[in-house]
Amino acid sequence: MKYDSGCLKKTKRTLSFKVRMFSKRKILFVAFFAALTAVIILPLSNCNRRSADVYHGFLETGEFRKMERADQMLKCASCHPQEYENELKGPHSYSYKSLVEHKAFVNSSSYQCDFYTAHVNRSFENCMGCHAPQNLYETLLYDSLNRPLQLAENLLQEAHPRPLTREGDAQRVTGVDCMSCHVNGGQIVSHKHIFKPEDSIAVLQTMPMLTVNNMNCYLCHFDAVRNFNSEIAIKQTGSALCMNCHQEHDAQGEGTHYFYWQHDAEGKQNPKPALLVDDFHFEAYEKNKTGVITWINTIMPHKISPGPEIVLFCDVLDKDSAVLGSKTIRINKKKEFDKEMYPNLENNYLAGIEGDDVPLHGEAIEYQFPLQRAEDAAFFRISFMHKSQYWFPDSLGKVSLVKTYAYEKEKQVLPVQ
């Protein structure tokens, strides 16, 4: 077959022109699409930034400041539902109600201790500073961004740096809430959110050193934190951080905000302090028909606070779960705190049973008790109870953990005392 060279050249020119036209159209289409995308996305981006500014800016508005505290917390919850769930159902948010209930109980016919009732009525408003405090970064910690170390050292030297209290039941009802520890006037105090310098919202953030160490906790839990020296108390890392132990974890192992307390989430893990029960070891001595529990503390890095009490109900069981012997162990600070409170209670001592304080240096504490059929001991069970006050009856405590350990007999002979 013969080809017409002129026709072929014309065909090539036509194809070349069409290719150039297609390339130009493609370039124009890509450029138009990119421009259209920019027109759509940039306003949305600016809108999102303005929304973020508004989100933090609402703290400064008159409307927000006029809201009751519970409604302000709902505003926080609208963007932070998980944190709200953890905090507003935990012991911090219950602190105001617990103090009110405490006062109601000691003034009821169920409680017969006039000198303590008089003390509670007299001290009620003073106690409120920790149970419904004003925002800490607007009061005691107001200069934490500029001089955190000096501020921390000064606070550690004070006998009792009690926070100022909010006024009125409507503002107190949320207890220790989001704003107590995360608002500095119109600013958010946080160490969780890191913003780029060009973000306009960055100017609304403060990240003082004190948000990531123990000083926030110290203002109310001074007795516990005071056991640490000032260097440890203001460190940002290490085993001495309160939050290393005083939080629970979700199903993914991520730490939640603080303890759940008023409800038990399905499948939740127990907080680290509950591991205290693993430090109690049982041994049965058949010859003496005696049980011995030995406590060597490896969990708690500080002593217990003055008022609360941990009660451990220990039972030795046979293979059929029949109780062979029991021992109640109390961990409290009654001996020390009674002396401190004696002159404030019209020269009286508080009720309750003296227990042991937490041993911090590896020493062992032993508890002996009679044991029927020691040879049949098969299980050692511990029920972990927490009480807000050691001088209140055990019926007001909350059992948060029951753990049973299998016991292997060693048939040791109990040393002669």
Residues 170 and 185 in one domain: yes
Same domain, 142 and 283: no
Residue 204 contacts residue 186 (beta carbons within 8 Å): yes
Q: Using one digit for the tens of pLDDT, what is the confidence trace for 384-401?
A: 998 989 999 999 888 888
Both 54 and 103 in one domain: the answer is no
Q: What is the pLDDT of residues 5-54, one digit of tens each?
A: 454 444 445 545 444 554 556 555 555 555 555 444 444 444 343 334 44
The C-alpha atoms of residue 225 and residue 227 are separated, in whole angstroms, by: 5
Q: Where are the alpha helices (DSSP H) in 254-398?
A: 334-341
Q: Collapsing DSSP states into helix, strand and coil, what is residue 152?
A: helix
Tell me, yes or no, whether 371 lies in a domain.
Answer: yes
Whether 255 is covered by a domain: the verdict is: no
pTM reported for the whole predicted model: 0.72
Residue 359 belongs to a domain with what CATH number? 2.60.40
Same domain? 338 vs 197: no
Number of domains comprising the chain: 3
The low-confidence residues of the chain, meaning pLDDT below 50, are: 1-3, 5, 7-12, 15, 17-19, 22, 38-54, 194, 199, 202, 204, 236, 411-417
32 part of a folded domain: yes
Give pLDDT, residue 291: 96
Cα 361 from chain centre: 26
Query: What per-residue confidence (pLDDT) applies to 360?
Result: 83
- Distance spanning both ends of the chain, measured CA to CA: 122
CA 360/CA 303 separation, integer angstroms = 8
- The answer to whether position 260 is within a domain reads no
**Structure confidence at residue 12 (pLDDT):** 46
Q: Both 224 and 300 in a single domain? A: no
288 in the same domain as 376: yes
Domain, as residue range, for 74: 70-235
Q: 222 and 111, same structural domain?
A: yes
At position 117, the amino acid (one-letter code) is T
For residue 231, the model assigns a pLDDT of 54
Same domain, yes or no: 386 and 288: yes
Among the candidates 11, 35, 66, a domain finishes at: 66
pLDDT for 251: 64
